[in-house]
Structure 1
Amino acid sequence: MTQLTRTLYHTIVVVDVAGFTAPDRSLPDRIAVRRGMYEVLTKAFAESDINFDSCAREDRGDGALILLPPGTSKSVVADRLPERVAVELRRYNSTRTPQAQIRLRVGLNSGDVLNDGNGWVGEAVDTVFRILDAQRAKEAFAESGRMVAVISSERFFEEVIAPDPGLLPESYTPIPVSVKTFTGTAYLRLHGELVAASLQPAAPEAVAADQPTVVVDGLVLDVVPRADLVKLRHYLTKLEVPQLAVMVSRSLGPAIPVPSLEGVTDAWSAFQLLMDFNAGPDGIPPSVTFLRLLAEQFGGGIGEAITGWVGEQAHRLRLGPALARQSQLRLAVPERAYLHLTIMLEPVSADPARCTLAFWRQDDPEVWPPPLGDIREIGIDEVELRVDDVILEAERVWSGQSVSAAVEFLLPRQLINLPVWRWAKEHATGQPQLLRYGYRLGIRSLERMRSSYWHRAWRVRWESMFDDPSAGRLHYSGCAEFKEHPIEAVLSDDRWVGLVMTEPPSPQPEPGTPPDELTCALRSGLPVILWHPDAGPEELREILDWVLATERGFIELPERRKLASSRATVPFKNSLAHDLVVMWDDPERVIVFDQPLIPAVDPASTVRGYRG
């Protein structure tokens, strides 16, 4: 007999995909929808300050039962979660074909539940499933065309929503519920802007039953007839793809972050995943781009067969000119590369205890800038944990790549001394690992990134550094030789590309005083700035003499800094290297904040711009 665990009080969220088994959805469509549902939920929960991975969950095929951790604010759930789900659905659906797009019914309740070893049971669980199936809610949802229907139990509405004017209780409509043995009242609210015509289920006569489709400029076009799919599947099944994540990223284009590749194990499953994405502005479906990359990568008989197949489809869809232009612009998939995760932190002006976190994840190592991944407002005291979430999310996407990665923090002056070198990841396991062991860590200046009038000098010094990366181009502040000269005058000398500061920079320089070392270095364009919170001048020089003691000098500084902090055989105390702060600021990887982050990829400039 199964031993029952103790009863716990939980806030309960149940989601269900509307029309999951609709006849126009193929099996690959349904797989894509399930994957997309969890992608949307993970992001929506994170933006509601709820860690999705910390929730107890049961998969229900076309939905999920989610139990929030005890103590989670029910008001936060009612206030933030529905709107964040709608926002994430809008983003997700904008890049999917009609059959892969998602609309969700979301049920809310709270109460005592227990786990009997086979699942979660309790009256509160039964109630939320009954209200989710209310016929009146389904009908109203279908007629509205909205993306999210929130259905609250009577108890949850009366205890949480009704007493709080900020939760807009007047926007909820009472509806009768009579499902199986349950009879009662629920409260319905519809979220999300009206769904565009392309999101509505296609009429049976509009889509041939044996043909997958994609949308190009709002028109539904046949892409792959079933007979041709059978032939293609023969080529692609069990075909392992090196650098799979890079190829998927190239196929989708820089404006779309790479989705989760869990379960994508060969070329066929990757092709099926990409079939659910709309064509880009060039009219070429991502699945076709993927096949062309695949043919180039493998060559030989497989490459010729795939190329022939693509040629047949291109002729039928009249994509020849577009494919020719794509061939001229497309970059080759690199054999070796470096991925960057750039995390920006910035204080919230109205609340010094909070900050904004945004990140840009580079899924394709030859394309910059990547799309903006997310923007979150968090507490200063939880920054390390939320950075942990971002890094683990990146690792889930990067799991198919066999390349090194860098994590860089884009910081304003106020946060420049955050101890990022001591931060760790995987806190939830109880055995966190220091970031400096797994990544090349660095910081970047948010002020410089935003100050375009500093960029010319910055680029000049950067190019100069690669022409002559010798260690002698590192200026040590406080050196007796330059003691009588203002630091701004000293750093104007073109020989310097790096500065070692005598002490950590002040987060808030004194108003009315001359520019300090950090400001002068940024203005002068120095791409490398270093300091240490504890080491004296001689100790710091000892560390940097070892770090720069290679033929390539500055060019190897980030890797050598990582090596110095992780190996035992160095001629100085390891503890000194652990906290060495390295600002390694690459002007060829700038994030432009005042225009859309969707770059026009220029192969020549992109290849030249990559320097690890």
Structure 2
Amino acid sequence: MDALQESATVKQTSSRELWRDMLADELGAPVEPFGGDRVRPWLLQLVKACTAVEYGAACLVRSLEYVEQQSASVAALWPLVDEWEAVDFFSGADLAHLRPVLESLRPAELASMARRASRSRVQELPYWCQTGWQVFLRLAGENSPADELPPSMAFLALSADRLMEEGGAEAAEELRRFNRGRAQELRVEERLAEWQHSEFPQPPPSLVPAYLMIQFEPDRNEADRYYLSHWRQSDSEGWHPVRGETVHLCRAELPGAVERLIEESEARWADLRQPVILEFVLPWELLNEPVEWWAKESDHPEPTPLAMDYPVFVRSFERLQRAAWHRAWHHKWRQLKERPADSHPHWGRPAPDGAYFFHLERELKEDRQAVCLVLSEPPGDDSGTGRREVLAGLRAGVPAMIWHRTDCSDSDFQDAIGEILQDRGLGSLAESVGKWRNDALALGPEGWDGHVGRHLAILLDDPERKPGPTGPV
């Protein structure tokens, strides 16, 4: 309640009502409106109602996060939710004496320990988990199969082993003593013994890629300024993107911010064994920006283009925001995904007449197997041919579009696209574009500008991979 009272949302009438409506949606039950002069008694009633429902405390904070995003109040509340769920899981056992022991663990190893303790179900820790104590509390709220040791207890076992290696025998014994007592209560003594005396083999590298999704949302009030948001997804069992911080930047600052973001993500994923894909969600005016050639380690005399280390694709910000276009998008994507050999591209026509764009959209909608549009001009930041072709493709649900960033009539581009689109059907579209980019990279900075792979742009938009819910702005 103290943390909630510090929230700007709670202090403002209109924001408070918005939060209350969202909380009711999360709980699936009505929430009494604020009707008095004092907020604290109302908050007490609200907190008691939420904590009487399973996962109700998490619903309370998640609904506030929709309104405030990663505010100081939200950052203070999530650890309290984890602690509440941990005390509930351990039936009110005294956990306080574990805190100083777990806070002595080295932060750099916590993510890998959490992954191992959860058998890789927890791929990334949320931003508020900075210490071993906070990771332990977080894992206490994680479900586990009936035949496995609960991940919070597995984490304690790993922590005890780590402390023993570092000469902390007394601290390690305190964790083991707690684990033995809880194992008896939960009747998991055999599983704890198995965990402590077994070396679990590392799972084979997942073939499911990890994704770093980076979105630039235009500021509607200030020209040339953007909100940069990002999501990390490394869960091989499903699509569960973890949202990062949103920052407000001018256009010239975007490449540097992306470079820092990638460096931070690589540090988080230091022991990740999956391939990583970069996706840029771009608005109209940035759709032709050569983001795959932005640099890593730009302070070095020889910086690394992103295309050297990652497959890089662009996506449409406008399509993600426009739900009315999504049904056709899903239909076309299923065609590309399930029947790639029966799918085909549609080529834009140079020097179009006035009715061209109407008929382009009509033809793309009528032809269910047309899942890739080759633009006749690059999309600019104006209302030219390339941009209007993209609009026709978005309205028709076309999930893939290809163009030359400067000259779509270039003969080398035409030849390359012909080869790309005939290579094992459209199912290998991403791999084929990657091959041409690698061919350009092989020429080095002094020669790659003359290679078509340096200028290939690909929009590849999967409707099954969307950012997590952002809540209202």
TM-score, L = length of structure 1: 0.48
Distance 1:357 1:444 in 2: 14
Q: 5+ residue gaps in structure 1?
A: 1-85, 99-197, 200-212, 230-239, 262-270, 294-308, 321-331, 597-612
In the other structure, the counterpart of 2:362 is: 489
* Pairing partner for 1:280 from 125, 131, 141: 141
Distance 2:151 2:407 in 1: 52
Moved over 6 A (4+): 223-226, 240-245, 258-261, 289-293, 309-312, 479-485
Distance 1:548 1:244 in 2: 44
The reply on whether 1:577 has 2:458 as its aligned counterpart is: no
In the other structure, the counterpart of 1:567 is: 439
Give the secondary-structure state (helix, strand or coil) at the position aligned to 1:335: coil
Shift in alpha-carbon separation, 1:219–1:95, aligned structure 2, 3 A: farther
Give the secondary-structure state (helix, strand or coil) at the position aligned to 2:214: strand
In the other structure, the counterpart of 1:316 is: 185
Give the secondary-structure state (helix, strand or coil) at the position aligned to 1:374: coil
The correspondence of residues 13-412 of structure 1 with structure 2, limited to 5 A, is: 87=71, 91=75, 94-95=78-79, 214-216=86-88, 221-222=93-94, 247=116, 250-252=120-122, 256=126, 274-275=135-136, 277=138, 279-280=140-141, 286-288=151-153, 313=182, 316-317=185-186, 335-412=206-283
Give the secondary-structure state (helix, strand or coil) at the position aligned to 1:275: helix
Higher helix share: 2
The reply on whether 1:446 has 2:317 as its aligned counterpart is: yes
Distance 1:550 1:442 in 2: 19
The reply on whether 1:530 has 2:385 as its aligned counterpart is: no
Deviations 1:530-582 (A, max 9, x none): 1112244333231123334433x322222221221113689x98621112110
Alignment size in residue pairs: 349
The correspondence of residues 461-480 of structure 1 with structure 2, limited to 5 A, is: 461-470=332-341, 473-478=344-349
The correspondence of residues 494-505 of structure 1 with structure 2, limited to 5 A, is: 494-505=368-379
Shift in alpha-carbon separation, 1:223–1:509, aligned structure 2, 3 A: same
How far the C-alpha of 1:505 sits from its partner, in A, is: 1.8
For the 8 Å contact 1:532–1:580, the answer to whether it is kept is yes
Distance 2:383 2:332 in 1: 25
Deviations 1:133-155 (A, max 9, x none): xxxxxxxxxxxxxxxxxxxxxxx
Shift in alpha-carbon separation, 1:252–1:401, aligned structure 2, 3 A: closer
Please tell me the residue identity of whatever aligns with 1:576: V
Distance 1:442 1:248 in 2: 34
The reply on whether 1:507 has 2:372 as its aligned counterpart is: no
For the 8 Å contact 2:375–2:408, the answer to whether it is kept is no
Deviations 1:238-257 (A, max 9, x none): xx999878557855488835
Deviations 1:421-464 (A, max 9, x none): 32011224454210001011011111111222211111111111
Distance 1:508 1:499 in 2: 19
How far the C-alpha of 1:90 sits from its partner, in A, is: 5.6
In the other structure, the counterpart of 1:155 is: none
Q: 5+ residue gaps in structure 2?
A: 1-69, 102-108, 159-177, 190-202
Please tell me the residue identity of whatever aligns with 1:546: E
Higher strand share: 1
In the other structure, the counterpart of 1:518 is: 390
How far the C-alpha of 1:351 sits from its partner, in A, is: 1.3
Give the secondary-structure state (helix, strand or coil) at the position aligned to 1:358: strand
Distance 1:544 1:219 in 2: 63
Shift in alpha-carbon separation, 1:89–1:575, aligned structure 2, 3 A: farther
* Pairing partner for 1:416 from 270, 276, 287: 287
Distance 1:87 1:376 in 2: 13
For the 8 Å contact 1:215–1:221, the answer to whether it is kept is yes
The reply on whether 1:546 has 2:419 as its aligned counterpart is: yes
Bigger radius of gyration among the two: 1
Shift in alpha-carbon separation, 1:311–1:575, aligned structure 2, 3 A: farther
Distance 1:592 1:272 in 2: 27
In the other structure, the counterpart of 1:134 is: none
* Pairing partner for 1:555 from 419, 424, 427: 427
Deviations 1:329-378 (A, max 9, x none): xxx99633201000000121221132110000113233324121110001
For the 8 Å contact 1:248–1:258, the answer to whether it is kept is no
For the 8 Å contact 2:114–2:155, the answer to whether it is kept is no
For the 8 Å contact 2:319–2:326, the answer to whether it is kept is yes
For the 8 Å contact 1:277–1:286, the answer to whether it is kept is no
Give the secondary-structure state (helix, strand or coil) at the position aligned to 2:362: helix
Shift in alpha-carbon separation, 1:430–1:457, aligned structure 2, 3 A: same
Please give the root-mean-square deviation of Cα atoms over the aligned residues, in Å.
4.7
TM-score, L = length of structure 2: 0.61
Distance 2:264 2:143 in 1: 30
Shift in alpha-carbon separation, 1:373–1:215, aligned structure 2, 3 A: farther
Distance 1:395 1:333 in 2: 20
Distance 1:90 1:474 in 2: 47
For the 8 Å contact 2:122–2:235, the answer to whether it is kept is no
How far the C-alpha of 1:471 sits from its partner, in A, is: 8.4
Give the secondary-structure state (helix, strand or coil) at the position aligned to 2:79: coil
